Amino acid sequence: PCLTEAHYKEMEEKVSSTLSGLEGELKGTYFPLLGMTKDVQQKLIDDHFLFKEGDRFLQAANACRYWPAGRGIYHNDKKTFLVWVNEEDHLRIISMQMGGDLGQVYRRLVSAVNDIEKRVPFSHHDRLGFLTFCPTNLGTTIRASVHIKLPKLAANREKLEEVAGRYSLQVRGTRGEHT
């Protein structure tokens, strides 16, 4: 069965109250999508911090019902830690920063996941791992991405895809999947 509007709002309330209890580097602010000004929303989208209403694949799967009710974003003061609420999954926990210190990005992510899971349990299946909306994300649910500019290689899309394929990498646009 599909989630009701009340389900989305209930999850948003649980998550936003949990996030408001984070401390230290993770301390930040929750912004509900409902009532967010268009200017603030567009600025967060342009900065690649905020999701937009689902693409045709999510719409076909009924993942965008009651949009934007029950959706929002949390980010810490440095905008190196974000949580998307009720985009595709109930939570998308993101740790990111400029530079090459992947260890720091990962440590921040692990710390956040541990803090959040103490208050909001994650669904887990013995055989499938952590459960998500999209079956491709089942298991650890971890997806690592790196944004890099390769202007000369990107000028030849075919060559870019060929090089990426050799290393089992995916080429995506700045807006993620299907871009």
Give the CATH number of domain 5-144; options: 3.40.50.1100, 3.40.50.12240, 3.30.590.10, 3.90.1150.10. 3.30.590.10
| Encoded amino acid at 8, one letter | Y
Res 127: pLDDT: 94
- Among 1-15, 43-57, 159-173, the minimum mean pLDDT is found in 43-57
Cis-peptide, bond into residue 151, ω within 30° of zero:
no
pLDDT above 90 as % of the chain: 52
Residue stretches of the annotated binding site: 48, 92, 143-147, 172-177
What is the DSSP track for 129-159?
Answer: EE--SSGGG-BS----------HHHHTSHHH
Residue numbering of the annotated binding site for ATP: 48, 92, 143-147, 172-177
Residue 42 CA from chain centroid, whole number = 17
pLDDT tens-digit readout, 90-122:
999 999 998 888 899 999 999 999 999 999 999
What is the reported pLDDT for 178? Answer: 54
Measured distance CA(61)–CA(54) in Å, rounded? 10
Q: What's the whole-number average pLDDT of the chain?
A: 88
Query: Structural domain boundaries of the chain?
Result: 5-144, 146-179
3-state secondary structure of 18: helix
Asked if 94 contacts 141 with a C-beta cutoff of 8 angstroms, the reply is: no
